Amino acid sequence: MAKAMWAGRFSKEESKEVNDFNSSISFDSRMYESDITGSIAHARMLGHQGIISQADSDLIIETLTQILEDINTGKLEFDMEAEDIHMFIEAELTNRIGEVGKRLHTSRSRNDQVALDIRLHLRKTVSSIVEQINSLIDTFVNMAEANKETIMPGYTHLQRAQPITFANHLLAYAFMLKRDKERFMDALKRMNYSPLGSCALAGTTYPIDREMVAKELGFDGIVRNSLDGVSDRDFCVEIASAAALCQMHLSRFSEEIILWCSWEFKFIELDDAYSTGSSIMPQKKNPDICELVRGKTGRVYGDLVTLLTMLKGTPLAYNKDMQEDKEAIFDCLDTLSMCLTIVKPMVETMRVNKTNMRNAAAKGFINATDLADYLVKKGMAFRSAYKISGSIVAFCIENNLVLETVPLEKYQEYSELFTEDVYQYINLEECTFKRTSKGASAVKSVEEQINYLRSNK
Ligand code: ARG
């Protein structure tokens, strides 16, 4: 085993078990590009400030660039015996250019280095999650546009409540996703400050220029406190929390798809490519993808709790506990990204059974509120109208009728305000499309939502 870079103080080498336990390269190697980019900016600053010679700075930058290319092309493989990605890259640099390579770590610690790397890395990952969310919003909006006139039952307590359009239902998810996206973007803003130059925790005696590094790396500024710079992982928690919410939304949607695919509902049918069969029951077509999205939600929540718990007892500043941030935040974003990837085409290819949706909406006295509203429009107080409408529903249930088939004379026994136009008023299409208030199911209300979502990306 290669001697650890910090071996100077130690008289014994660490055991294999200790090295394996301590090592993070198996999961932090994915940050190699961020690590190298950060080191290049650091080396440039060291040269610029005269902390190392310009020639050494140039050679370090050139060699790091080469190392990056060699990793990208597969010429250089990670050494799984290395302690972490930072040590691996630095050792490789020193292998290639000897003493000059050893100057890179001047006025830097792995504590501020790792804090920098993870911010750089998450900035990329979160930006791509934001893209994915955007694209899923588009999917929901397009699907809504195609279903502006598709009537379905709206539910509360999973009981048929009032008629809505499928468009309005889908748009609810588009708005949830929009908030998710905004939460991620907000977290990105707060994270975008450079911790480099905090060094181990106390800053440094070298005349470094932290702003120069921050600027080169596209940060909005520097973390203003050196202890905070190395010990802050709030951004991981914020991002994991945004991910947990987003995953929860995907999970609620998945649950609805699972219900809607069942024989009991049959509102939608998933494309064969996005469902699976049973090994024993030939009739089955299972919504496994949705179940997995729902199931993986537990794991994303777990990652959030891991991060919060990891941080709660760590005194300032850096503690090795913090190495545990990576697996949690990576797993959390990997999982969410995978789910976003698969949900989009699943939604795009699912078939909507408009007839079944409409038929379900036509049952269950879904127009009982409208019957009450009818009396209100004719001058009755809502509470009284509500009571009469309820009595008529009870009468229908006893006599196996629906509101549309109650004879006019019967209606008039309940109130003389009822006239022939009641049937028109409680007609399903009427009930759905006359809900023209903002945010409702009428075509115009839905179009307003669609336009809003399209013009506020
Ligand atoms: N692999 C470590 C981490 O992920 C890097 C920082 C190590 N710093 C230290 N003082 N041991 O947090």
Cα distance between residue 250 and residue 260, in whole Å: 15
Rounded CA-CA distance 33/85 in Å is 10
Instruction: Give the pLDDT mean for 288-307.
Output: 98
Could you say which of 127, 262, 278, 384 is catalytic?
278
Q: What are the domain boundaries of the chain?
A: 23-106, 111-148+162-354, 363-442
Beta pairing partners, 165 = 151
84 lines ligand 1 (CB under 6 A): yes
**Cα 84 to middle of ligand 1, angstroms:** 8
Q: Is 278 designated active site?
A: yes
**Three-state secondary structure call for residue 14:** coil
Confidence of residue 423 (pLDDT cuts 50, 70, 90): very high
Are the C-beta atoms of 238 and 190 separated by less than 8 Å?
yes
Element holding 156 (H helix, E strand): strand 151-156
Mean local confidence (pLDDT), 349-368 = 94
Tell which residue, 42, 54, 50, 62, has the closest CA to residue 104.
42
Q: What is the mean pLDDT of residues 208-223?
A: 98
Is the separation of the CB atoms in 121 and 28 below 8 Å? no
The predicted structure's pLDDT at residue 1: 47
| 394: number of Cβ within 10 Å | 10
84 CA closest ligand 1 atom index: 1
Chain-centre distance for alpha carbon 386:
42
The pLDDT confidence band at residue 3, using thresholds 50, 70 and 90, is: low
Ligand 1 contact, 111 CB (< 6 A): yes
Strand 159-165 versus strand 268-269 pairing type: unpaired
Average pLDDT over residues 388-410: 95
The correct answer on CATH 2.30.110.10 for the domain covering 23-106 is no
Asked whether 164 and 152 are in contact (CB, 8 A), the reply is yes
Q: Is 114 in the pocket of ligand 1 (CB under 6 A)?
A: yes
Kindly give the distance from the C-alpha atom of residue 18 to the centroid of ligand 1, in angstroms, as a whole number: 15
The 10s digit of each residue's pLDDT in 138-165 is 999 999 999 999 999 999 999 999 999 9
CA of 86 to the centre of ligand 1 (A): 9
At the top level of CATH, which class does the domain 363-442 belong to? mainly alpha
Fold topology of 111-148+162-354: Fumarase C; Chain A, domain 2 (1.20.200)
pLDDT tens readout for residues 30-78:
999 999 999 999 999 999 999 999 999 999 999 999 999 999 999 999 9
Six-digit token string for 174: 């588009």
Q: Over pLDDT 90: what percentage of the chain?
A: 92
Burial 174-184 (b: 16+ CB within 10 A, else e): bbbbbebbebb
Q: Are 23-106 and 111-148+162-354 the same fold in CATH?
A: no
Using an 8 Å Cβ cutoff, are 144 and 177 in contact? no
Task: For ligand 1, atom 7, name the residue with the nearest CA.
Answer: 110
Question: Both tokens of residue 270?
Answer: 């998933």
Residue 335 has pLDDT above 60, yes or no: yes
Residue 24 bears catalytic tag: no
- Asked whether 422 and 400 are in contact (CB, 8 A), the reply is no
Q: What is the whole-number distance in angstroms between the Cα of residue 111 and the centre of ligand 1? A: 6
Question: pTM for the full model?
Answer: 0.94
| Amino acid found at 434 | K
CA distance 297 to 247: 6
Residue 64 beta carbon below 6 angstroms from any ligand 1 atom: no
Residue-wise pLDDT tens digits, 66-123: 999 999 999 999 999 999 999 999 999 999 999 999 999 999 999 999 999 999 999 9
Ligand 1 atom nearest the C-alpha of 83 is 1
Spatial neighbors of 387 by CB under 8 A, at least 6 apart, are none
Instruction: Point out the ligand 1 atom lying closest to the alpha carbon of residue 200.
Output: 10
